[in-house]
Amino acid sequence: MSISLSSLILLPIWINMAQIQQGGPDEKEKTTALKDLLSRIDLDELMKKDEPPLDFPDTLEGFEYAFNEKGQLRHIKTGEPFVFNYREDLHRWNQKRYEALGEIITKYVYELLEKDCNLKKISIPVDATESEPKSFIFMSEDALTNPQKLMVLIHGSGVVRAGQWARRLIINEDLDSGTQIPFIKRAVAEGYGVIVLNPNENYIEVEKPKIHVQSSSDSSDEPAEKRERKDKVSKETKKRRDFYEKYRNPQREKEMMQLYIRENGSPEEHAIYVWDHFIAQAAAENVFFVAHSYGGLAFVELMIQREADVKNKVTAVALTDSVHNVWHQEAGKTIREWMRETP
């Protein structure tokens, strides 16, 4: 007799089995019954997950979505807005699908920054070798040469990247609501140079190398019988571990490791790096910042680290829904006074 997957609601009993085993005869009898029940579960059926493959398109067209003339994301065939719960009761799969779409939108916004806003993609660190991890920012042609005005945009934390304020707004509302594009276009129209920071692009991900462990029995002087027993135990242990991993993560994803970008390993580091290598070198007499959410915290840290230079160049700062805290960040009295007085 095998037990269907629907019967797996009983599996939480496993958690309490150790406690039951410590009890008296009645508890032990219950334990025996539970073990018998669990032994009759069809493990092959257990492995059958309803979750579809985590294999998603890599283009908007593949998702059957496109941005219309109003900048709204709509289904190509139905005209409907994006639906998160595409598959009922499959939250993990829906979330992975949403994240895959988000990555495509990030690249789409990058293209808009270059094509519609005429910004240039600048690689950092500026002296990076061919093989080391790199990030990038976006700049207008006159960002460093405009003698009058320079606008610097810093987004918040999370999955957003250069040119975005909020991915959720891009997907659920429109491009004007969720991106920095309206700010950039107006700044350019009013004669500003523009620099768009990319403070969340702090590392690249690469697949972890597989470590091959040579069996100790290969070069052992142990008796053959003892080696066979050890090998059998090792195989059983591996079998149980593989079973657990497959149950816990039926669609095993690649194990990744993060390689941080030199001098840009955090939003704060990134803001200081861009200041030192670009903004501080700009010809503009007046520098203006728009810093959203965590971008405000990054700006305050920049102030702390480069106080005199920032005071000398920055004319005004717009902190939109900023999460900075001058007390927590230990900003000095002169910085707090400057921030109160600066428009």
Q: Name which of 97-101, 251-255, 290-294 the model is least confident about.
A: 251-255
For tokens 């009993």, name the residue.
Answer: 13
Q: What is the reported pLDDT for 70?
A: 97
Q: Where does the pLDDT of residue 220 fall: very low under 50, low under 70, confident under 90, or very high at 90 and above?
A: low
Amino acid 191 reads G
pLDDT, tens only, 22-35: 556 667 776 776 76
Question: How much is the average pLDDT of 73-92?
Answer: 91
Q: What is the reported pLDDT for 96?
A: 92
User: For the chain, what are the domain ranges?
Assistant: 118-204+261-341
pLDDT, tens only, 41-60: 555 444 445 678 888 999 99
pLDDT, tens only, 244-282: 555 455 566 678 899 999 999 999 999 999 999 999 999
Alpha-carbon 119 to chain mean position: 24
Q: What are phi and psi of 83, to 5 degrees?
A: -110, 120
Which residue has better confidence, 37 or 291?
Answer: 291
Question: How much is the average pLDDT of 89-118?
Answer: 94
- Interatomic CA distance for residues 214 and 201, integer angstroms: 38
Question: How much is the average pLDDT of 296-325?
Answer: 96
What angle (nearest 5°) sits at the alpha carbon of residue 108, between those of residues 103 and 113? Answer: 125
Residue 2 gets the label, from left (phi > 0), alpha (psi -120 to 50) or beta, of beta
- Interatomic CA distance for residues 170 and 189, integer angstroms: 23
Which residue has better confidence, 276 or 217?
Answer: 276
Q: What is the reported pLDDT for 118?
A: 98
Q: Find out whether 90 and 83 touch, Cβ atoms under 8 Å.
A: no
Residues with catalytic roles = 293
- Interatomic CA distance for residues 24 and 248, integer angstroms: 33
Closest alpha carbon to 200 in 157, 262, 258: 157
The CATH class of the 118-204+261-341 domain is alpha beta
Q: Where does the pLDDT of residue 15 fall: very low under 50, low under 70, confident under 90, or very high at 90 and above?
A: very low
Q: Does position 230 have pLDDT exceeding 80, yes or no?
A: no
Q: Where does the pLDDT of residue 207 fall: very low under 50, low under 70, confident under 90, or very high at 90 and above?
A: confident
Q: What is the reported pLDDT for 90?
A: 85
- Interatomic CA distance for residues 113 and 186, integer angstroms: 13
Q: Does position 215 have pLDDT exceeding 60, yes or no?
A: no
Q: Name which of 12-21, 205-214, 290-299 the model is least confident about.
A: 12-21
Which residue has better confidence, 208 or 100?
Answer: 100
Question: How much is the average pLDDT of 229-250?
Answer: 61
Q: Percent of the chain, pLDDT > 90?
A: 64
Question: Is residue 128 helix, strand or coil?
Answer: coil
Q: Does position 16 have pLDDT exceeding 60, yes or no?
A: no
Mean pLDDT of the chain: 85
Q: What is the reported pLDDT for 31?
A: 72
Q: What is the reported pLDDT for 2?
A: 41
Q: Where does the pLDDT of residue 136 fall: very low under 50, low under 70, confident under 90, or very high at 90 and above?
A: very high
What angle (nearest 5°) sits at the alpha carbon of residue 197, between those of residues 166 and 268? Answer: 95
Q: What is the reported pLDDT for 294?
A: 98
Question: How much is the average pLDDT of 182-200?
Answer: 98
